[in-house]
Amino acid sequence: MPVAAAFGLRDRRSLVAVACASIATNPALTWIGWALATRWDWAESPASALAFLLPAEAVVVLVEWRLLVWALGADPRRLLLISIAMNAASALAGLVFWLA
């Protein structure tokens, strides 16, 4: 939400759309990542983590982007940039948390 707000999505409708898009994708990605991490020690094999994380985040970016375009009807290129920025920040925070 802070990243979306930094990109100008500050009105109620936009923030609700961002929250709903995140709720639609984040729990699934987190659960799948956790389930896979219990099978492989990603701290010892960062390549395995990246092999999951990069394509999974790409799918999340695309799904959230399409949801935002559908919900807000704004410029698709701008919303794609916002989706990429939101998910890059989220992935970075998740990696810091996971590997700490």
* Domain range summary for the chain, segments of one domain joined by +: 2-99
One-letter amino acid identity for 6? Answer: A
Task: Tell me, yes or no, if the pTM score tops 0.75.
Answer: yes
Report the pLDDT averaged over residues 51-59: 87
Average of pLDDT values for 24-50? 77
Report pLDDT for 43.
Answer: 61
Euclidean distance between CA atoms 18 and 85, whole angstroms: 12
Q: Using one digit for the tens of pLDDT, what is the confidence trace for 78-91?
A: 999 999 999 999 88
Rounded Cα distance between 87 and 6, Å, is: 14
Average pLDDT, the chain: 88
pLDDT reading at 42 higher than 70: no
Closest Cα to residue 53, out of 86, 88, 97, 3?
Answer: 88
What value does the CA radius of gyration of the chain take, rounded to a whole number of Å? 14
